[in-house]
């Protein structure tokens, strides 16, 4: 072999040794059947650092998210059920993709191009919540593609017909879940319509960075990169105001243990929601991905950094968890056992001209990108 050939072989060997390993893998498996006999699948994305995410075709649901602590021990950090019966019968939207319009619509009514649409309530509420009683969280999504490689990815598809849950237009939705070797789980929501409609999609995972079986998520330390929030009325509908967080129980601009303020009965907003169930107005321009929140468990050293291109972040402190729902570890979930961080448009935006528009027209594409980066302290910290 010539010196030139030897040099070329050496360079190829060096490139192979230093190239990033295609360690991320996607696997699909059965996850039981619904009461009507429909088979549900689970797609698990795994990288080379002990991070994994399991996504169900039922509700495009994030069923599990495992992340290592400072000792390298991986635990599941999202609330959920161990079988499909739990998701079909249970409530709380654990890990689900919610839509066609996430969060609340006042009195279940909105007007679009001069026509008023009336939507069904949920659980006895007058307001429409998370798209209605048969929203996207109850749909069986189809697997369009699954990929392994430097990035493990699953793409799920759902078509919501014209008139579904009272909403106009046929909406075609993609939910793309991707896990990379930088320990980032990205959820990329995309939607198109054949006539004017309204859209607001998000993922409704509840986090506990200590591990979902540990309880007491309120001991997590929260930072929210927002200077304002939208107060609510007695029916948990935004008043239309944007109020500075400074000097209120909603000031998480510096890291704060959630439990410190969640019981502040002196704040009428906390009394209304029985804790946090409010939209924060994120800094920066909507449409650009920027850091929205950081959630950390000091004991384990696990941290979640959540970034998004959405305008708002709904922070919900699990106020309605009442012990009736049994989680994956066989523990009853109780109030404060999980914290939901829902990156989305503002609640009831369809009825507030001053809020970001939820309108989607034919020829345009709706996007909401949510990036969950998982971090751990160095050993000894």
Residues serving a catalytic function are 204, 342
- Contact present, 222 and 274 (Cβ < 8 Å): no
In angstroms, rounded to a whole number, what is the distance separating the alpha carbons of residues 241 and 185?
A: 33
In angstroms, rounded to a whole number, what is the distance separating the alpha carbons of residues 348 and 350?
A: 5
Give the ranges where the chain is alpha helix by DSSP (H). 3-18, 84-89, 268-273
**SS3 category, 115:** strand
139 token code pair: 């749909």
In angstroms, rounded to a whole number, what is the distance separating the alpha carbons of residues 31 and 28?
A: 9
CA angle 368, 187, 241 (to 5 degrees): 40
- Contact present, 356 and 48 (Cβ < 8 Å): no
- Contact present, 295 and 304 (Cβ < 8 Å): yes
**SS3 category, 370:** strand
In angstroms, rounded to a whole number, what is the distance separating the alpha carbons of residues 345 and 279?
A: 9
Rg of the chain's alpha carbons, rounded to an integer?
Answer: 21
- Residue 289 CB neighbours (<10 A): 14
In angstroms, rounded to a whole number, what is the distance separating the alpha carbons of residues 331 and 327?
A: 5
- What distances in angstroms separate CA 107 from CA 116, 128, 162, 238, one per listed residue? 12, 7, 21, 12
Q: What are the φ/ψ torsions at residue 107 (nearest 5 degrees)?
A: 55, 10
- What distances in angstroms separate CA 69 from CA 133, 163, 200, 331, 379, one per listed residue? 37, 46, 33, 21, 9
345 token code pair: 């448009």
209 token code pair: 């960075």
Nearest to 123 by CA among 236, 271, 238: 236
Q: What are the φ/ψ torsions at residue 190 (nearest 5 degrees)?
A: -135, 145
162 token code pair: 């014209």
């Amino acid at each position: 072999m010539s010196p030139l050939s030897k040099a070329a072989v050496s360079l190829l060997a060096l490139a192979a040794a230093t190239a990033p390993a295609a360690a991320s893998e996607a696997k699909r498996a059965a996850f039981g059947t619904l009461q009507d006999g429909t088979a549900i699948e689970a797609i698990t994305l795994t990288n080379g650092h002990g991070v994994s995410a399991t996504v169900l075709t039922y509700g495009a649901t994030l069923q599990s998210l495992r992340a290592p602590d400072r000792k390298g021990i991986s635990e599941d950090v999202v609330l959920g059920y161990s079988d499909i019966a739990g998701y079909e019968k249970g409530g709380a939207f654990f890990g689900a993709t919610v839509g066609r319009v996430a969060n609340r619509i006042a009195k279940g009514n909105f007007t679009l191009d001069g026509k008023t649409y009336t939507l069904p309530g949920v659980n006895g509420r007058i307001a429409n919540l998370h798209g209605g009683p048969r929203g996207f969280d109850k749909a069986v999504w189809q697997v369009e593609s699954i990929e392994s490689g430097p990035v493990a990815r699953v793409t799920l598809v759902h078509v919501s017909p014209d008139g579904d849950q009272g909403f106009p237009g046929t909406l075609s939705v993609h939910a793309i879940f991707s896990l990379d070797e930088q320990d980032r789980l990205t959820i990329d929501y995309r939607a198109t319509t054949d006539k004017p409609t309204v859209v607001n999609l998000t993922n409704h995972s509840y986090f506990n960075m200590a591990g979902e079986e540990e309880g007491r998520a309120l001991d997590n330390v929260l930072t929210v990169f927002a200077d304002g929030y939208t107060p609510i009325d007695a029916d948990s509908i935004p008043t239309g105001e944007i109020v500075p967080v400074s000097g209120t129980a909603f000031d998480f601009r510096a890291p704060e243990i959630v439990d410190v303020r969640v019981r502040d009965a002196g704040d009428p907003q906390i009394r209304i929601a029985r804790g946090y169930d409010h939209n924060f107005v994120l800094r920066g321009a909507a449409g650009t991905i920027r850091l929205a929140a950081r959630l950390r468990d000091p004991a384990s050293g696990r941290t979640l950094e959540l970034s998004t291109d959405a305008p708002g972040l709904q922070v919900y402190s699990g106020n309605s968890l009442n012990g009736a729902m049994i989680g994956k570890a066989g523990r009853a979930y109780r109030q404060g056992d999980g914290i939901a961080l829902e990156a989305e448009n503002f609640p009831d935006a369809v009825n507030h001209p001053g809020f970001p528009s939820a309108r989607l027209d034919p020829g345009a594409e709706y996007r909401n990108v949510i990036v969950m980066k998982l971090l751990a302290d160095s050993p000894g910290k």
